[in-house]
Structure 1
Amino acid sequence: MSTPRRPVLVVDFGAQYAQLIARRVREARVYSEVVPHTMPVAEMLAKNPAAIILSGGPASVHEPGSPQVDPELFAADVPIFGICYGFQLMARALGGTVTPTGRGEFGRTPLTVRSTSGVLLRELPAEVPVWMSHKDAVTHAPAGFTVTAESAGAPVAAFEDPAKRRAGVQFHPEVAHTACGQQVLTRFLYDIAGIEPTWTPANIIDEQVALIRDQVGDKKVICGLSGGVDSAVAAALVHRAVGDQLTCVFVNHGLLRAGEPEQVEQDYVAATGIKLKVVDAQDRFLD
């Protein structure tokens, strides 16, 4: 059996950027998965995460019924990074203060980096343009955290506690509008969470092939090949895993684009070496 890779979990609090955060983590050569904020902490920890990122979200931490974070998450020895709403949830759960200041910030905003820039923001300019989207603000950091940045509407715009492997930012490092955003994210992943950048997209193929091989064993496999991308990729992965144990079936129903049946019957088979059974069912579908 293959050994599952430890993921960075991106906990989605309704953010439009949750998938983008996961993508940026992968661009840093670290494997990531998006999970809902409703997932129990025990299930998150069962995934043996290398780190957890709390995403932004449209709610206010003060609204009744707004998404919350289980304080048990912070009892676990897992590196945690809060972004925007996730930053505020983290601050409040650990004893900091989140205040409806009435001075929300939206869009491109100057961020003032303090001289105590710490690990996360080290070597950044004294002022950096970042992307903000918040109404409430962290006004007091939790005990043990060092405040490393501020803005006009966020007295605490970044904080960190490297000893406990925790950090957070009010802005969105995952978007292109934030200068040095990817650098901030990788500083958390590499320097605070201590993750080695060893993952590449090729790992997805290797991991899936191993899982398929384990599941199939010495059995035979049949795959319905439609001519579309999804079934073609699925068949290619299974074929890489089990070879001639796979037989694909392609039904020509007469409703494909001109030349597509020939592409499947000739080009796809030539490229992959897959065993293919072709069924000409045009009369049955069109009569």
Structure 2
Amino acid sequence: MVVGILDFGGQYNHLILRRVTELGFRGGFLSPDEPLDKVKQLFDCLIISGGPWNIPEDLPRTGNAINYILEFPGPVLGICLGHQLMAYAYGGELVRDLPEFGGVRVYVDREDTILRGVPREFVAWESHNISVARQPRGFEVIAHSDTVPVEAMVNEGISRFGVQFHPEVRHTEYGLVIMKNFLELCQHA
């Protein structure tokens, strides 16, 4: 199984790949301009990473990311910008809020596949100007914070998962658990 990591040039992209390999899986970067057919051939699941852009105004800079989210047949995890793109692609509502950079207390609303083994509250690392104010139809909110109503969302029927925070950084408690849960899902997809 190979995990594709969409590289938007965000500050934590190499950490995502490092965590994937530390957890015993193979991963590789892909550019947002790769044709979808090639991506389907190379990877079994995708992680849509964070990056420096704001949605919707910077949408043209994200290349084929929306197509990957909507049409990739395997599981997809959106992190930060990837989470926002996923919400946007499926019709959720984004809002420009006060920038957050640092630790935020996250409250788990429902322990599901990616939050399995995570306590009801944990501290996560955030770095964003835009957040998801309302999840898309068909998605369930599984975590929130005092300032962000959709810290994590899931649509298990189509294997789409999104988190506003960065599970790949050591400052996020249980981040490796969350990533491992997603990667195990990929393995069984």
CA–CA separation in structure 2 for the residues paired with 1:69 and 1:108 = 31
> Match of 1:120?
114
Q: Does 1:155 align with 2:149?
A: yes
What is the total number of aligned residue pairs between the two structures? 187
> Match of 2:131?
137
Match of 1:97 among 77, 86, 93: 93
Displacement over 6 Å in runs of 4+: none
**Which structure has more helix as a fraction of its residues?**
1
Deviation by residue 1:156-195 (Cα, 9 ceiling, x = unmatched): 01011222221110000000000000000011111x3235
Q: Does 1:32 align with 2:27?
A: yes
Deviation by residue 1:47-82 (Cα, 9 ceiling, x = unmatched): 1x1100000001101224442544432223111000
8 Å Cα contact 2:34/2:64 also seen in 1: no
8 Å Cα contact 2:20/2:26 also seen in 1: yes
Note the 1:202-213 alignment, pairs <5 A: none
8 Å Cα contact 1:137/1:153 also seen in 2: no
Q: Does 1:187 align with 2:181?
A: yes
Query: Relative contact order (C-alpha < 8 Å, sep 6+): which is higher?
Result: 2
Q: Does 1:81 align with 2:77?
A: yes
Structure 1: which 5+ runs fail to align?
1-5, 197-287
8 Å Cα contact 2:32/2:65 also seen in 1: no
| Code of the aligned partner of 1:41 | L
TM-score by length of 2: 0.91
**Which structure has more strand as a fraction of its residues?**
2
CA–CA separation in structure 1 for the residues paired with 2:57 and 2:67 = 21
Rg (Cα) greater in structure = 1
Give me the identity figure in percent: 35
8 Å Cα contact 1:105/1:153 also seen in 2: no
Moved more, 64-73 or 34-43: 64-73
CA–CA separation in structure 1 for the residues paired with 2:93 and 2:166 = 20
Deviation at 1:146, TM superposition (A): 1.3
Q: Secondary structure, in 3 states, of the residue corresponding to 2:124?
A: strand
TM-score by length of 1: 0.61
Deviation at 1:29, TM superposition (A): 0.9
CA–CA separation in structure 1 for the residues paired with 2:47 and 2:86 = 10
Distance 1:86 1:113, change over 3 A: same
CA–CA separation in structure 2 for the residues paired with 1:24 and 1:195 = 19
> Match of 2:62?
67
